[in-house]
Amino acid sequence: MPELPEVHTVVTQLRRELRGRTIIRLAEWNTRKMLQPTPDILARIVRGARVRGVRRRAKLILIDLEDGAAVLAVHLKLNGRLLVQKSHKPRDPYTRAVFTLDDGNELRFADSRKFGYIRVFNNARELNAVIDKYGPEPLDASFTAARLADLLKHRATKIKPLLMDQSVISGIGNIYSDEALFAAKINPRRSAKSLSQIEVRRLHRAIQNTLRAGITHHGTSDQWFVDTHGRKGSHQNYLRVYGRSGEPCPRCRTPIQRLKLGGRSAHFCPKCQR
């Protein structure tokens, strides 16, 4: 499930592979509502368009096109994959859309569950209306411990669902919220406003360290995630609580617990996360 580190990994590679390339055409199969506003409109806009650059905002991959200010926003959701491969290479079985490029490669969008989407924005104003709703980027210099404290104060919500709320902080999902809370020794059920100044500072550090580690390892390939070359990341080998319910806590050997919070599973050590 791509979160900030996984999206970062894909964006870094896409930038190298797509910048300056021209999209020849778009083909699509069984995309339901994945191509927005419609497959035809999307196809018309990308045809003959050159890629100016690729960037990330929250968990969105943004592909800027030249000639006009159109932007493609790709959300991978749970199982989405963006692959850049030679046209003759076999396709991922769940390929839904293929952008033919001018260098013999194809940009392929695969998604077994069809939760992901590609949405075209005609200009910056349209795009900003969407991305301005996202909370701050946790790895930006402006994301200080004081900023985090501001976001948490007066909030009665449990800290774990709050960390995953994209309108509060962007890019954190189930895996990295569990890992950050473990590193900060904070129980996922704590209310946000109950955190002490020391705990907020610890959490701030833990969020940044956890995300940076994920980036260093090219993401967590729990089951589906691969980069644009189809390669897995390695951060799944460094997870300390996520997906480890019943296993001993790496700090105190107490069995890791799992519970439901905000409709998602939370993994934590009941002894050292207070």
Catalytic residues: 2-3, 59, 264
Residue 146, CA distances (Å) to 62, 130, 247 in order: 29, 26, 35
Stretch that binds DNA, among 45-53, 97-105, 120-128, 263-271 (CB under 7 A): 263-271
Measured from the CB of residue 135, what is the shortest distance to DNA in angstroms?
11
Using the minimum distance from each CB to DNA, give the nearer residue, 14 or 101. Answer: 14
Question: Is residue 115 close enough to count as binding DNA by CB under 7 A?
Answer: yes
Place of tokens 């569950």: 113
Which two three-digit tokens encode residue 39? 């497959």
Question: Is residue 240 close enough to count as binding DNA by CB under 7 A?
Answer: no
- Kindly write out the interface string for residues 167-206 of this chain, putting x where it contacts DNA by CB under 7 A and - elsewhere: ------xxx---------------x---------------
In angstroms, the CA 102 to CA 37 distance is 25
Q: Are 110 and 95 in contact (CB under 8 A)?
A: yes
Q: Are 76 and 59 in contact (CB under 8 A)?
A: yes
Question: Is residue 32 close enough to count as binding DNA by CB under 7 A?
Answer: yes
Stretch that binds DNA, among 20-28, 98-106, 112-120, 247-255 (CB under 7 A): 112-120
In angstroms, the CA 243 to CA 258 distance is 9
Measured from the CB of residue 111, what is the shortest distance to DNA in angstroms?
9
Using the minimum distance from each CB to DNA, give the nearer residue, 86 or 125. Answer: 125
Q: Are 76 and 94 in contact (CB under 8 A)?
A: no
Stretch that binds DNA, among 10-18, 159-167, 180-188, 198-206 (CB under 7 A): 159-167
Q: Are 106 and 87 in contact (CB under 8 A)?
A: yes
User: CA-based Rg of the chain, rounded to a whole angstrom?
Assistant: 20
Using the minimum distance from each CB to DNA, give the nearer residue, 16 or 274. Answer: 274
- Count the helix, strand and coil residues of the chain and give each as a percent rounded to the nearest 5: 30, 25, 45
List residues binding DNA (CB under 7 A).
1, 3, 32, 58-59, 75, 77-78, 94, 112-115, 154-158, 161, 164, 166, 173-175, 191, 223, 243, 261-265
